[in-house]
Structure 1
């Protein structure tokens, strides 16, 4: 049997669209049961919590939005776009897209969905006053117009075969035409908003007029935020909540010993060190190469993630991605090579910029200390500067020569590349520039042949691996905890409770504990 380390190294933790590792979820009853109330604890909450899909920015926002709203498409467990409010999507050139809406879909206030609602919802992302979190992606839409009551035509600035995946992002959910007040939610989603208190709680009740005939089993769901790690886990153990997001790897064994379930979802989420290549020592490519060789990836996996991860190779697609480049040589831990490169360029005798880290970037403080220790062993002084979580993303991230980031799974390879590695990307952490990469990105977006597009993506990953200043030691396995009475949870490449869409699939089996006790081996 493969050990967890072997599974990690071989990229063997896989997810299929219909399920995942059996150990991640309890045995199921014969069929889902309708009814029940579920309480869920997420990790983040503040007075800036919102019911405006365009402004959602935190996991709790996304979970809440998934309860109340729908998009034109949805991303399945393998992040492949599937029809939602649009029952059919057509494009001949990948530049002009026609979306045919489902007839008879109702908003929570009883109004019927039309093309006018979609046009309004998508166009408002372009308004700077809306402060949309996906304005960068929305700017690719040159025009959005209605084509009859149930047709919408979107013309892009340039062809993009992956455009439907963009519309699968939670922020592109559809609201009613003219909506400006978001004190409550008026969507087409599976639940109606019964209460919303920013930073405190949201209460959702099942929508009896939901357009989708299958699924949505529970009667109601209460979503709260518990930022303190131990308090969140204790709430699950005490029965105060039924589900928690982001289980601490160090508490997985305890939860399982106490009869709780822990769902493991391999994701494209990673914590990285970004070495800026436009300022400081990162302007020298051999400094970047040396730092990459100083990362002891196995040690990070064991001591930081406790094995709940897969090996990273300084390129941003995880091993589960269908476009992952398996041919890239693995960046190895080689302190002797790192020392030679640093000494050759005089960096061992220089005062270097500190490593900027923060609790805001998941586990970056622990990873920074490990890297600092490895540097000290080869005679390199590397200071660690811990920044407060509050304001880290706006005031510290990408502002220093050496700094840590934390990147969530993207909906497609195209989004990964365009948001973080293209020359004009808004989140190009290492300020890497490659004209060849930009050329390949444009080429991939109009390539209909799957094999040819895969070859293009392979070359793009090679360019990132060899040239960018991003060090990606591991891909993180998302961990969510739940009481055994909760059924329907399945691993998802989007992580975080089925890509934040768990509410649509879970159901309650009050007899689960008794049934499993009876069936347990003597």
Structure 2
């Protein structure tokens, strides 16, 4: 057993921590430790402890450059219209929500001081006082009423309209109090208000060429589809405030280019790194990975309202042709959990553990394709790097189809414009869904008959009625049973194939501290800018 020398002191620990902050490599540090009489094994332990100590000590100042994987000329500073990860990152930096979902999935108050209800239908929201917008305006109830009502205005085109529709009354009680009445009881309202779309904007705001929020950063520059720059808000209402002086965020759609930018030091955070690149990162002492599994998934969508998805036999064939284990191990390098074609992940307390994933059964798939009269017909699967790992997934499905005479082609299209031109539109295409904290949110956004992101155009009156009933039930056993049945309905009736729940991997420089997992997705649920710091 190896030990550090008995004369090793806290001063020596401090010296190692100082070298780490100054950018010394692991090789240089081990060489120094061995010269001091520390064995290799013990030296590794010393470095681990020192690195942890450095990472846990916030440093104020510096500029962070971070790269996501998707962007568009339709990028927006309007929280109601936010669609891509780049939108969410900016909104989290420039605005605040009434509530915030912490790393444990627990709702915390943010702009709200309290949110209370005695019946889960009528809610009273008390706001924090002395909160300033970036233009100096004081936050009040009018801002909240205006922000919530925007989601109900068809002219706005809010992505959260289907969630907001349950709010039948949104009124100001006094300057710091708002009342929200729901059409039906919904105990999840405080959680719903923590979603990115429900950021609070100033009363009357119609110009979103810049951001006037209450957030930890102020918008200095915004070029849709190019980049954004935020600078620290000196009047932020939270005592700590942001650690960074500023941050720049943009997209590098190509995974290898994104990783290389991190390795070269051009950026300090590379979001959503493809698992194939992990070995590249592991070979460099200057970077590390932040891994979390929160329910993100890339799915294969078959529209049920157009050929070939109009024939359920084709959908059944595709579900039997998905080799989930191959996708998990070969495409995602084990960084995923097997999925069962519905969106509620195992980490969610309402996940149905009895719903078994479809088995990989090529012969069964062939039977269904023949029954549909489609065996041998050329059918394109639209994939893109914009939907993480979809090209690799499509290739595995294509190869499995070739073994049984099914002519599935991979139509690889550019990342730019994928979400506006192909997603929700192509007959067979891939999507990529970020985590959502409740089944009701997932179902409302993705599977209700009028859901804005109904990827397979699934429609079921029974499902719609159950969704409303489960939403308002205060009986947890009944609610759980209904959510389990709804998951079975989606898995068996919808045209969405969810082979795995993907672990998100963000690559970061070792100088970046403060990163933690969050149930709303990678990059700390896209809110990293407010909470991370850079060591000098």
TM over 0.5: yes
- Structure 1 residue runs of 4+, over 6 Å off? none
Q: Which residue of 2 aligns with 1:303?
A: 330
Q: Distance in 2 between matches of 1:496 and 1:47?
A: 23
CA distance in 2, matches of 1:446, 1:473: 30
Aligned twin of 1:406: 432
Q: CA deviation at 1:283?
A: 4.1
Give how far 1:411 is off: 3.5
Counting only pairs closer than 5 Å after superposition, residues 336-485 of structure 1 correspond to structure 2 as 336-343=363-370, 345=371, 347=373, 349=375, 351=377, 353-485=379-511
1:151-202: CA deviations, max 9, x gaps?
0112223332222222222222112222233343221111223333444433
List runs of 5+ in structure 2 lacking aligned partners.
1-47
Whether 1:497 aligns to 2:523 is yes
Distance 1:286 1:357 in 2: 22
Alignment check: 8 A CA contact 1:301 1:309 kept: yes
Give the Cα–Cα distance (whole angstroms) in 2 for the partners of residues 29 and 342 of structure 1: 55
Structure 1 SS opposite 2:248 = strand
Question: Does the CA-based 8 Å contact 1:168-1:411 persist in structure 2?
Answer: no
CA distance in 2 between counterparts of 1:426 and 1:168 reads 19
- Cα deviation per residue 1:15-40 (whole Å; 9 max; x = unaligned)? xxxxxxx99x9565554333333222
Partner of 1:3: none
For structure 1, list consecutive stretches of 5 or more residues without a partner in the other structure. Answer: 1-21, 511-522
User: CA 1:201–1:389 in 2, change beyond 3 Å: closer, same or farther?
Assistant: closer
Corresponding residue of 1:243: 269
Within 2, Cα distance between the matches of 1:416 and 1:100?
28
* 2: CA distance, partners of 1:129 / 1:202: 26
Cα distance in structure 1, aligned partners of 2:172 and 2:433 = 35
Please name the residue that 1:37 is paired with. Answer: 63
Matches within 5 A, 1:87-486: 87-214=113-240, 216-259=242-285, 260-343=287-370, 345=371, 347=373, 349=375, 351=377, 353-486=379-512
Aligned residues: 487
- SS at structure 2 position matched to 1:41: strand
Cα distance change of structure 1 residues 490 and 216 upon mapping to structure 2, 3 Å threshold = same
Q: 1:331 to 1:27 in 2, by over 3 A?
A: farther
Find the residue that maps to 2:292 and give its secondary structure.
strand
Q: TM-score, normalised by structure 2?
A: 0.84
Question: How far, CA to CA, are the matches of 1:181 and 1:401 in structure 2?
Answer: 36
Q: Considering only aligned residues, what root-mean-square deviation do their CA atoms show, in Å?
A: 2.5
What's the CA shift for 1:69?
0.8
1: CA distance between counterparts of 2:432 and 2:321? Answer: 19
Q: Are 1:96 and 1:153, in contact at CA under 8 Å, matched by a contact in 2? A: yes
Question: How high is the TM-score relative to the length of structure 1?
Answer: 0.86
Q: Which residue of 2 aligns with 1:17?
A: none
SS of residue paired to 1:479:
strand
